């Protein structure tokens, strides 16, 4: 029983540590757009407004739940904060063809990028999906979280609002 408590505590500490603010810049990596065009991640910009980058896959239920929850509020978020969300699919070459119909079926209004070789994923140290990053006006990653639980999108939005007001993200 002690082992189970220890493992749960260790998982909590790891997850909490990952969710802490760790400022760094986005790496420059080539990925593809849904229409197959080359896109370099250095082009991820939003006129000084907050940016959310969400790593996901079609087979990842928590990823789909998070992106669907955000989709329900995304238009309001954009109106209020100007935030822009990039959904980076890590589906491999076998399942990459399912991404576009999947996104269209969900009606997601995000910029969807394909990282079929996982180059961007590795460059930004994403181990598991979902993994969501919040980027400030200067292009710094100021917040990140892994996993998804109902209501996480509201926590993310509170941080987005702070960034939109020019406030620092503090944990």
pLDDT, tens only, 103-159 = 999 999 999 999 999 999 999 999 999 999 999 988 999 999 999 999 999 999 999
pLDDT in tens, 12-29: 444 544 444 457 788 999
Do 22 and 147 contact (CB within 8 A), yes or no?
no
pLDDT at 5: 57
pLDDT tier, 1 (very low <50, low <70, confident <90, very high otherwise): low
pTM (2 decimals)? Answer: 0.85
pLDDT at 12: 47
Alpha helices in the chain (DSSP H): 2-19, 61-81, 99-106, 119-123, 152-164
In this predicted structure, the answer to whether residue 6 has a pLDDT above a threshold of 90 is no
Strands 30-33 and 111-114: antiparallel
Nearest-angstrom CA–CA distance, 33 and 15:
30
Higher pLDDT, 45 or 9: 45
pLDDT at 13: 46
Closest of 133, 158, 151 to residue 52, by C-alpha: 133
Q: How does DSSP classify residue 134?
A: E
Do 97 and 77 contact (CB within 8 A), yes or no?
no
Among 48-52, 54-58, 64-68, 93-97, the least confident range:
93-97
């Amino acid at each position: 029983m002690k082992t189970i408590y220890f493992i749960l505590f260790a998982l909590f500490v790891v997850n909490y540590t990952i969710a802490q603010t760790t400022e760094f810049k986005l790496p420059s990596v080539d990925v593809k757009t849904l229409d197959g065009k080359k896109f370099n991640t250095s082009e991820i910009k939003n006129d000084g407004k907050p940016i959310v980058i969400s790593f996901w896959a079609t087979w990842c239920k928590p990823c789909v739940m998070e992106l669907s929850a955000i989709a329900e509020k995304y238009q309001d978020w954009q109106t209020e904060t100007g935030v822009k969300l990039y959904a980076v699919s890590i589906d491999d070459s076998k399942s990459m063809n399912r991404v576009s119909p999947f996104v269209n079926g969900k009606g997601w209004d995000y910029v969807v990028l394909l990282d079929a070789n996982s180059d961007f994923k590795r460059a930004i140290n994403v181990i598991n999906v979902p993994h969501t990053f919040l980027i400030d006006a200067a292009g710094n990653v100021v917040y990140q979280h892994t996993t998804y639980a109902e209501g996480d999108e509201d926590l993310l939005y509170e941080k987005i609002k702070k960034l939109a007001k020019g406030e620092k993200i503090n944990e």
